[in-house]
């Protein structure tokens, strides 16, 4: 069964974007992943195709109308659709590799790309939208975030990566950052590949990689180490 993503956006021409290339592009060509971009504006209720209005209570910017977005969601995701409904939002739950794998194991997703100041809270609640964030920063819209989410999901679909182990030894898969990588030439600008990596001792290599992952994670992501420590207790 293919992973099918329906993306609700005001800019459908942004899809599939970079996903049409490389691993994701080949997955789409094979039909392993299907990406449908739907224009929210097609579900506007007036002749001007209005999709936004001023925020209740005043303030800057505009807010995506709940009636328009609800009509779009209902059109692409009827009641019997089992796919999760996601809203790309800076206030959402941070996207993790574990959530990526959960999504990849399912039938797909309906992904809403917000614009303007945000989306009316009532449609978030009424249509059970799961808010997801890709980081602690704000984009001009949800489209780049949706592309990132889909990139992460498609690459871990069965058969997409040539080496089945490629996705299991990466950052975040084990809760740690990934160890450093090296390849030929053995010497580059006076810097040598660590001796252990050319020793042929696979047990020593694995121990070195694990130690490097731990050191990098402690240095760069102490929050991940705290999380691992809590799990170990």
| All structural domains of the chain | 3-155 (3.40.1280.10), 169-232 (1.10.1270.20)
In this prediction, what percent of the chain has a pLDDT beyond 90? 89
With tokens 């080496």, the residue in question is: 163
Q: Residue 106 above 90 pLDDT?
A: yes
Residue 187: CB partners within 8 Å, gap ≥ 6?
193
In this prediction, what percent of the chain has a pLDDT beyond 70? 96
The structure's pTM equals 0.91
| Cβ neighbours, 10 Å, residue 45 | 12
Average pLDDT score, the chain: 94
Work out the burial of residue 139: count CB atoms within 10 Å of its CB; fewer than 13 is exposed, 13-18 middle, 19 or more buried: middle
Mean pLDDT of 105-115: 97
The band of 170, judged by pLDDT with boundaries at 50, 70 and 90, is: low
| Cβ neighbours, 10 Å, residue 7 | 27
* pLDDT for res 169: 59
Question: Cα Rg for the chain, rounded, in angstroms?
Answer: 22
DSSP string, 37-73: EEEGGGG-SSTT---EEPPTT--SS-EE-HHHHHHHH
The band of 233, judged by pLDDT with boundaries at 50, 70 and 90, is: confident
CA distances in angstroms from 225 to 8, 111, 144, 195, 230, listed in the order given? 37, 31, 29, 28, 9
């Amino acid at each position: 069964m293919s992973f099918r993503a329906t993306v609700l956006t005001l800019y459908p021409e942004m899809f599939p974007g970079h996903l049409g290339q490389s691993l994701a592009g080949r997955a789409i060509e094979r039909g392993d992943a299907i990406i449908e971009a739907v224009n929210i504006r097609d579900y506007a209720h007036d002749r001007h195709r209005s999709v936004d209005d001023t925020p209740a209570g005043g303030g800057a910017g505009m807010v995506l109308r709940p009636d328009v977005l609800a009509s779009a969601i209902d059109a692409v995701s009827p009641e019997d659709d089992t796919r999760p409904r996601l809203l790309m939002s800076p206030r959402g739950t941070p996207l993790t590799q574990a959530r990526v794998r959960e999504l990849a194991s399912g039938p797909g997703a309906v992904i809403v790309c917000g614009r303007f100041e945000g989306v009316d809270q009532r449609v978030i609640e009424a249509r059970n939208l799961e808010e997801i964030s890709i980081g602690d920063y704000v984009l001009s819209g949800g489209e780049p975030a949706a592309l990132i989410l889909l990139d992460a999901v498609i690459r871990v679909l069965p058969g997409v990566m040539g080496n089945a182990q490629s996705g299991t030894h990466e950052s975040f898969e084990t809760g740690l950052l990934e160890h450093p990588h090296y390849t030929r030439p053995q010497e580059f600008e006076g810097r040598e590949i660590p001796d252990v990596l050319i020793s042929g001792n696979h047990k020593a290599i694995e121990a070195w990689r694990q130690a490097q992952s731990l050191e990098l994670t402690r240095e760069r992501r102490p929050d991940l180490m705290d999380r691992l420590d809590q799990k170990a207790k």
